[in-house]
Structure 1
Amino acid sequence: MSLSARIVTAASNTLRSIGQSLDRAGASLEVCKHADKLVPSTRFVAVDGIAPTISPHAAFVAPSASVIGDVTLDKNASVWYGATIRGDVHKVSIGENTIVGDRAVIHVAKIAGDHPSIIGKNVTIGPGAIVHAATIQDNVVIGPSAQVLDGAVVESNAILSAGAVVTPGTIVKSGEYWSGNPAKLQRKVSAEEMANAARVIQDTLALARMHAYENFKDMEQLLKDEEYYEDATTRDPEYYPYVPEGKKVEEEGDVLGMGSPGLIFDSVLTNPEEGLKVREKKRREEQK
């Protein structure tokens, strides 16, 4: 082997070794992985050895969300598509039934001030909203694209309108409705508004569970769902009856042990000799 070839080979081996080391280092940072799903897995990432703590009863964490560092997510909370929760220099705590809307951002502060983000129960954080190193008490509604900044406190049963900006250190009192930039008190929250906020929490919880179920499916299950849907919507109702997956094929709808025919069969032919016996039995009956 020539000198130049040996140099190229040595350099290639070195670069390959460096690349493998970087892959292993990156893999050690990601604490949760999913394979063969419809969309990429949620990014649960540890920071300084502290990984997010997600309740096993959390309603839903979207596959495109990022949950990073010292983050605690409680029972029935949901984090929607594109949202980012970043507890890299302080902690983030999110209470029961709380909704973190699409593309919302929750962050903390350590350099300019020292504030965690503490979010209570039954809180709705709208799409595109920002909670930066602030405290949000129970039953609060933060409108779409609203911002609650460093050291601010939003007390229970308060509402921030869409686009409201609560400046650093501001306290929004319980039961108040604020709007504007900078946000200011407009009026008291009505009983109807609070009742509507409670309904949104319950409706979103049901929706979150449905999204969690669908996103958990792998590609094999998605293909099965597509086949059964097409079969069910195109089969002539006068033809063999459609039999959903997991249901027992009725004897009169069975063909050679394969199930009811359509675009697909409802069961797999596992004993072909049995199918031949069925066909022979039917032939003899027809000859009598």
Structure 2
Amino acid sequence: MSERFDAWLGIDWSGAKGRYSGIALAECRADGSGPRLIAPEGARWTRGAVAAYLGQRIAAGERLLAGFDFAFGFPWIAGEGYLAGRAQHATDAFALWELIEEASAEAPDFHAGPVVTHEAFAPSYWVSGKQRSGWRNHKRRTETACGAATSTYPETVFKLIGAKQVGKAALAGIRTLRAIRLAAPGHVAVWPFEDADKPAVLAEIYPTLFRRQALGNTAKIKDRATLDTALAALDSGPAQDAPASFSDHDGDALISAAGLRWLDRTGKLFTLPEEAEAQARREGWIVGVS
């Protein structure tokens, strides 16, 4: 089989500040072997280290599909655009990214904490206490569709309280994606904002979707036996050099790498529902969601 990519990477993400340990990387190769974890050069992966690592592989000419576990964009509301009309000049996702970068005040390691207090962004966020009057629980269309497919109902990027919050991870992730894309113009495409026609493609993943597909449930994978069962359902060999037990971050990275390769080989990777395509081009879309 002639492959479009040399490697498929699953990346579990974190938007935390300071010393965090929630990022994990794994890859599958085109030879059909099972996924393997990619160890950081230091004690842990940081967002900056991920950007540098992918940049090196892209510069070396590798054909990569990198899947990141965070939202690539914001809800786009007809008649308002992004941020309830407070960003009228941002008419596409990349313009929104520039606004996020500007509001981040050059926080280190792509952290995006300052964004949520910026005048254009703050009114959209629920950051503490009880839900305030007037807060709007807007979700992207892909989150609604993904919820229907998995019965997990991903949170809105604007809710910043509770265990399931995803907003700061998305903001930090968007800053990271922007840097990767700008470092290799002409070599990187961000799907679905751009057609997936470059050597390296960055796409949004939701590991729960792969666990549901492989095992019929959404439980986190933390042991080798469960992982290898899931991998077999995705037409993958067993994991390479994985320990008997590992973190749920490692588990999500490993199943996502295999899931991306499986989606690619089954022709379900870069597809958008026709009725949702225009909105997805502005908001982003989770690969594998129909």
Please say whether Structure 1 and Structure 2 have the same fold, judged by a TM-score greater than 0.5: no
TM-score (norm 1): 0.20
TM norm structure 2: 0.20
**Larger relative contact order (CA 8 Å, sep ≥ 6):** 2
The structure carrying a bigger helix percent of its residues is 2
Greater Rg over alpha carbons, structure: 1
Larger fraction in strand = 1
